[in-house]
Amino acid sequence: MKIKLTKPFTAFTLIELLVVIAIIAILAALAVPALTSALAKAQLTGTMNNGRQLYLAQFSEANDGAATGDPLLAWPGDLVAVPATLQAYVNNVVGPGYLRGGDIAKLFSAPSASVSTTVNSGPPESVTLDSGIGALKVHPCKDADTSNTIFATSHNYIYNTDIVNGSVPYGLKGFIVVRKGGDATVYKSGQATTVGWGNDCTKLQSGVGARTGDAPGTCGGTDPANTLIFN
């Protein structure tokens, strides 16, 4: 007579279950910061692309103005009436048709910094900035400025000044800069001042950008006068 042997049933012990749960918790703790960082980088890149789109409209306008001699088509600092508000600047780009009124709410919005607008059909078409916080601000750069002069930055960045935690749209997660030459970059908060560039103003100007009108090697500690910002 043959006796059939069966394998005894085995189950996880409490200790084994606790070890598995602990490993999962550790892996989750390691993954969450990486995922959060990746999300912030993606959002910053989106804002950078919005800044680039605004730049392309501005560049086309200034280029047309230089070709035709129209003083109403120029870089913001060269306009006959330098815009006193971001709304006035936006309408100087929307009115001639370099941007659509419906584009403005998208271009000036980011996480925790959105703008509510009213599009007025015109003609010419115009936009009213009703409420909110503009994710981008525009510097009054001029045609005479060098290509590394800053054209626009994210709202949270004040030139050569430490970024304040909780400032919108990104606080200490980073900031974006679009320069007059058309290049745009995402930066870490530690690169906001000359300190992050070895206390070298020239490196800050080369890396992040220069303020309009500043001489090489001269870095102020705030945005230039007439920087266009909404709330």
| CB-based contact 75:58 (threshold 8 Å) | yes
The answer to whether residue 222 is domain-embedded is no
| Phi, then psi, of 169 in degrees rounded to 5 | -90, -15
The answer to whether residue 114 is domain-embedded is yes
The rounded distance, in Å, linking the Cα atoms of 111 and 1 is 77
The rounded distance, in Å, linking the Cα atoms of 202 and 199 is 9
Number of separate domains in the chain? 1
The rounded distance, in Å, linking the Cα atoms of 46 and 110 is 8
pLDDT at site 35:
59
The answer to whether residue 87 is domain-embedded is yes
Give pTM, 2 decimals: 0.84
The answer to whether residue 158 is domain-embedded is yes
Residue-by-residue pLDDT tens, the chain, 231 positions: 555 555 565 666 878 778 888 888 887 777 666 656 677 889 999 999 999 999 999 999 999 999 999 999 999 999 999 999 999 999 999 999 999 999 999 999 999 999 999 999 989 999 999 999 999 999 999 999 999 999 999 999 999 999 999 999 999 999 999 999 999 999 999 999 999 999 999 999 999 999 999 999 999 999 999 999 999
The answer to whether residue 192 is domain-embedded is yes
The rounded distance, in Å, linking the Cα atoms of 104 and 48 is 15
The answer to whether residue 94 is domain-embedded is yes
For residue 63, the enclosing domain spans 18-207
| CB-based contact 229:155 (threshold 8 Å) | yes
The answer to whether residue 218 is domain-embedded is no
The answer to whether residue 118 is domain-embedded is yes
